A = this chain, B = another copy of it.
Amino acid sequence: MAYIELPEGLPGIRGAMAFRPETARPLNDLVEFLLHAPNTLTQGERELIATYVSSENDCYYCQTIHGAIAAASLGGDEVLVKKVKVDFWNAEISDKLKALLVIAGQVQKGGKHVTSEAVANAKASGATDTEIHDTVLIAAAFCMFNRYVDGLGTTQPRDEAMYRERGKMVARDGYVAVSKEYLPASAMETV
């Protein structure tokens, strides 16, 4: 049971968002832009970064739903998603994404853990300043989302099919569209 009275039937962050729509709005706008909007990093690459950080933070809900969104973005490749979580160095991903995952892992430990060597490696493998910025902010944002979800003691059902179905929906329609039920309006809506 959650530490505060959250609306029933909405697992993970969804219950918290329905409880406080005023903060759900900017949280959804942030994740919509970082993970779903057009970017030189693919949707799958960005969702893998979010999934990896959530796994390092041991947040079941976040790593499972973003793992499902990542898999949906990658043609259903759930094996790749699991491989990235446990051993990304030997996963079938680009050297650039490996270098960005190193930075994401450093951010997960703390901002001061990021090294100039890791950033130089990312640049050498072709990462732009914007891609490095977005990687740092995605990793930092998931250090927030993971703490928000676990820190409120939210319900996190062990039901892979549920995550898989919602993952497909979010991968296709984005975060703001699937959260309309509890979001106040905003001019940022582009969906």
Contacts of A141 in B (CB 8 A): 144
For residue A32, which residue of chain B has the nearest CB?
B26
One complex includes copies of this chain to the number of: 2
Is residue A76 within 8 Å, beta carbon to beta carbon, of the partner chain?
no
Select the stretch in A77-85, A89-97, A147-155, A157-165 that faces chain B.
A147-155
- Say yes or no: A136 contacts B148, CB within 8 Å: yes
For residue A127, which residue of chain B has the nearest CB?
B4
- Say yes or no: B185 contacts A114, CB within 8 Å: no
* Prevailing SS type, chain A contact patch: helix
Is residue A119 within 8 Å, beta carbon to beta carbon, of the partner chain?
yes
A114-B151, A136-B152, A186-B188 are known contacts. Are A34 and B23 too (CB-CB below 8 A)?
yes
- Say yes or no: B143 contacts A3, CB within 8 Å: no
Is residue A173 within 8 Å, beta carbon to beta carbon, of the partner chain?
no
Contacts of A152 in B (CB 8 A): 114, 133, 136
Cβ < 8 Å to B, chain A residues 1-38: 3-5, 16, 19-20, 22-23, 25-27, 29-30, 33-34, 37
- Say yes or no: B20 contacts A30, CB within 8 Å: no
CA distance A144 to B108 in the complex (A): 9
| Minimum C-beta distance from A55 to chain B (A) | 13
| Minimum C-beta distance from A138 to chain B (A) | 10
A22-B33, A33-B22, A57-B111 are known contacts. Are A140 and B151 too (CB-CB below 8 A)?
yes
Is residue A125 within 8 Å, beta carbon to beta carbon, of the partner chain?
no
CA distance A187 to B59 in the complex (A): 33
